[in-house]
Amino acid sequence: MMKRYDAVVIGAGHAGVEAAAALAKLNKKTLLTTLSAEAVAFMACNPNIGGTAKGHLVKEIDALGGVMGEIADKAAIQVRMLNRAGGEAVHSLRAQVDKNLYHRLMKQRMESAENLDVMEADVNELIFDGDRVAGVRTAVGDVIYADAAVICTGVYMDSRIITGGYERATGPAGFMRSVGLSENLKRYGLDIRRFKTGTPMRVLSKTIDYEEMELQPGEEGLPRFGMLTENAVRNDCACYLTYTNAETHRIILSNLDRAPLYNGNISGIGPRYCPSIETKVVRFKDKERHQIFVEPEGTDTCEMYIQGLSTSLPFDVQEQMLHSVKGLTRAKITRYGYAIEYDCLNPKCLNAALGIKGFKGLYSAGQINGSSGYEEAAAQGLVAGINAARYLDGKEPLILTRDSSYIGVLIDDLVTKGTEEPYRMMTSRAEYRLRLRQDNADIRLTELGYEIGLADEKRYAKYLKKKAEVAALKDTFSSLRFGKKDLSNAGIETGDTLKTSFTVTELIKMGVGIDIIKNMIPELASYMPEALTCAATDIKYSGYLSKEDRRVAEESRLNDYAIPADIDYGAVEGLRIEAREKLGEIRPMTLGQAGRISGVNSADVTVLLIYLRKKRQS
């Protein structure tokens, strides 16, 4: 068969659904292919959305007009705010979600979207007209013509699952794998790598001794991922905390010869920041115990996810290990843990728009780019989908900067620095994290989403309302004063000072919480809670934000200076040999990106700037 679309998205995981939704909403006739309709946005690993830095990504996806936040709110069964011990900049919303419900809701969203078709198809070949995308071919020989394609194959390319000495040529959770596409990409000269990730066992809920564990309840009064979420988010399912112990560690260490990670059966590179339990025990021998979180997989199943016991040890060792943990001594395993190896791209072959260099109309997003996590995948999928649509319209690509968003940090890290292991987003990766908070994601990005065409009128109106309220609150707080007696009556101590009154702005900078201030000013009840939080946080960090603003202004000069795509770095006199090699490999889009490449120093950037200025003048 032969079919014609504007764009094809290969893979319907968390990257694929965002890419397809963005293309369709931007009026591009789009085909979303999936190896199995049951794998659409399926959570093959942990059943949660958000968490440290990942919550920031979800809020940013939502602000731009993506779908992950809205669906996560609908499927949530417990919500918590992580990193409470840190400042507001690192607070991260996390939702335990019903994984089957999340899949069903996202599948329904894709199936009901205008301009979007969803089809089971095993795409194993790209078709080009010169260097331009012309379409794809499936394993059964069907040709689908399209002028743009987004590859979102996740961990499915030539994947294999390993548990002890047992292995299967399959994708995660028993879904079929992608065969042929990886070889097709190699034939076009793309650098293919082998990465590894894994998942823990699942156990039957009624066989767990919950009274021996620490209860981890949800929190009330938290914000939502979706700006437009109106209904209350469900928050009535409990999670639990327990720990490994000396016996657990003894079992693991005595069976390392049977561990695929240590006996040579696994060659793929695994994630440093989400390692298997055997890696944690070996790497951190001084630790007497490791945290184990016991989390529900959903409301329509009795399975519990044992977060922290990710493993590829043999089945019998998994049983021993699990039963050595307090609260899990009687637990019955319903699904054993496993490691999964898969092919992925070296992300240095991508530009900052997530386009694959050397090919027009070809984009890549998600775990195929060397990242890990649902949220990182969705963020890339959204950007790739937007840029595929802009390519079809003949528009300049959307490039998110490091000072604008965590999404910008994520993409810049991948395409500029590359990664030698599955990349995970963390707050420490963002040098401007005081300005990249969850509470202001909508203020930072909704205007942009509206201009692009993804954020609709309702979202834009709510953004304008919040923005106006934040400005009004800051004006009010800077002028409204309270005397020392009023403050004392409110339980606020001002210390030994000659001042007789304080503005609300001064009180916030002194550390007085917004809840206390709300009790002092009843009129604040008419404002949006999100606006109150944002205004107070801006005031609290105002001194530091001013410093960040100055740094951003200094760096924007280089970030705004474009480098021609066809530049010959060999012709730039004064560049060091290493700089020439690295610049030629990455081919940065701006001078700012050039300066962030490992092996390119400030002197190289200066030489490049002088060369570009001379070229422009001539």
Q: Please tell me the distance from the alpha carbon of residue 454 to that of residue 385, in angstroms, as a whole number.
A: 11
DSSP 113: S
Residue 1's pLDDT is what? 64
Q: Is the pLDDT of residue 618 over 80?
A: no
Residue 599's pLDDT is what? 84
- 365-396 pLDDT tens trace: 999 999 999 999 999 999 999 999 999 999 99
Q: What is the secondary structure of 497-508 as a DSSP string?
A: -S--EEEHHHHH
At 293, give phi and psi (nearest 5°): -100, 130
Q: Is the pLDDT of residue 267 over 80?
A: no
Q: Please tell me the distance from the alpha carbon of residue 56 to that of residue 434, in angstroms, as a whole number.
A: 12
CA distances from 598 to 351, 573, 612 (A): 16, 20, 21
Q: How confident is the model at residue 287 (pLDDT cuts 50, 70, 90)?
A: very high
CA distances from 536 to 404, 440, 467, 483, 516 (A): 20, 11, 13, 20, 12
**Residue 9 CA neighbour count, 13 Å, CB half:** 40
C-beta of residue 588 within 8 angstroms of C-beta of residue 594: yes
- Can you give the pTM of this predicted structure? 0.94
Report the 10 Å Cβ neighbour count for 554: 9
C-beta of residue 132 within 8 angstroms of C-beta of residue 360: yes
Q: In terms of Cα–Cα distance, which of 342, 9, 25, 358 is closest to 154?
A: 342
Angle between helices 529-540 and 457-479 (to 10 degrees): 50
What are the structural domains of the chain? 1-52+65-399 (3.50.50.60), 471-540 (no CATH), 561-617 (1.10.150.570)
β-strand partners of 49: 95
Mean pLDDT throughout 594-611? 88
- 495-552 pLDDT tens trace: 767 688 889 999 999 888 888 899 889 999 999 999 999 999 999 999 999 999 988 8
- 175-211 pLDDT tens trace: 999 999 999 999 999 999 999 999 999 999 999 999 9
